[in-house]
Copies of this chain bind each other. A is one copy, B any other.
Amino acid sequence: MSVSGVSTVETRRNKNEGRKRFTDKQISFLEYMFETQSRPELRMKHQVASKLGLHPRQVAIWFQNKRARSKSRQIEQEYNTLKHDYETLASKSESLKKENQALLNQLEMLRDVADRHQENTRRLDSTGNSSIEESDDRITNSPTKNDANIMLESYSPKISVPFYESVAYFGEESKFVDIEEQLCSVNDWEETTCDVPKWWEF
């Protein structure tokens, strides 16, 4: 019989010839049972088998394959869900990017206008009052007539530059940006703006 000990030579029974597709009735009932219990007991398998005119072995195998297929479809579902989420997030990110750029433009405009305003103020000051007060206004809480000037002078070098740098990391359509770099840039930026004395707290 088994010439080589490895081969399970049940050649007679091993025929795949008796393979037929199950009838719709059989499959319907199997599906129904699967929804109730995806892992039936041995007793249940026998009952289902005799009810459908199948071998218990066939029923067991059908459930095994069914579970496998179910898992495959589940993965496919997860893929579609994830794909949808990705597109949503991409749109969201795109909006944020545009908004971000607009805000940067706003700040730049503000700075430019303030610079010109400052020039005029200086020009006017020079004609009348030439004393440039480096007074104690910074540590008081009451605003003075030079608030805008002080604010915008320190704003330009300390705040604006880090912002431009951090934004520079998100260029165009770079789908594969190193995540480490991003976190670093964010952390650096947070340190710069949060751990440094803020210009608006005089």
- Is A61 at the interface (CB under 8 A from chain B)? no
A9 to B102, CA, bound (A): 74
CB-based contact A116/B93 at 8 Å: no
Total chain A interface residues with beta-carbon distance under 8 A: 71
A94 to B93, CA, bound (A): 9
CB-based contact A113/B151 at 8 Å: yes
Mark out the residues of chain A between 161 and 199 whose CB falls within 8 Å of any chain B CB in the assembled complex.
163, 166-167, 170, 175-177, 179, 182-183, 185-186, 189-190, 193
A176 to B91, CA, bound (A): 12
Contacts of A110 in B (CB 8 A): 107, 110, 151-152, 155
Contacts of A103 in B (CB 8 A): 100, 103-104, 107, 163
CB-based contact B117/A143 at 8 Å: yes
Interface of A is mostly: helix
- Is A7 at the interface (CB under 8 A from chain B)? yes
Q: How many copies does the complex hold?
A: 2
CB-based contact A99/B11 at 8 Å: no
Q: Which residue of B lies closest to A10 (CB)?
A: B18
- Is A148 at the interface (CB under 8 A from chain B)? yes
Contact of A91 among B72, B82, B120, B182 (CB under 8 A): B182
Q: Which residue of B lies closest to A183 (CB)?
A: B91
A144 to B119, CA, bound (A): 10
Stretch at the interface among A26-34, A35-43, A46-54, A73-81: A73-81
- Is A44 at the interface (CB under 8 A from chain B)? no
CB-based contact A89/B87 at 8 Å: no
Instruction: List residues of A whose CB falls within 8 A of some B CB.
Output: 7, 9, 11, 14, 17-19, 72, 75-76, 78-79, 82-83, 85-100, 102-104, 106-107, 109-110, 112-114, 116-117, 119-121, 124, 143-145, 147-148, 151-152, 155, 159, 163, 166-167, 170, 175-177, 179, 182-183, 185-186, 189-190, 193, 200
8 extra interface residue pairs, beta carbon distance < 8 Å, beyond A75-B79, A112-B200, A120-B145: A82-B82, A86-B86, A91-B182, A94-B186, A95-B189, A99-B163, A102-B163, A113-B148
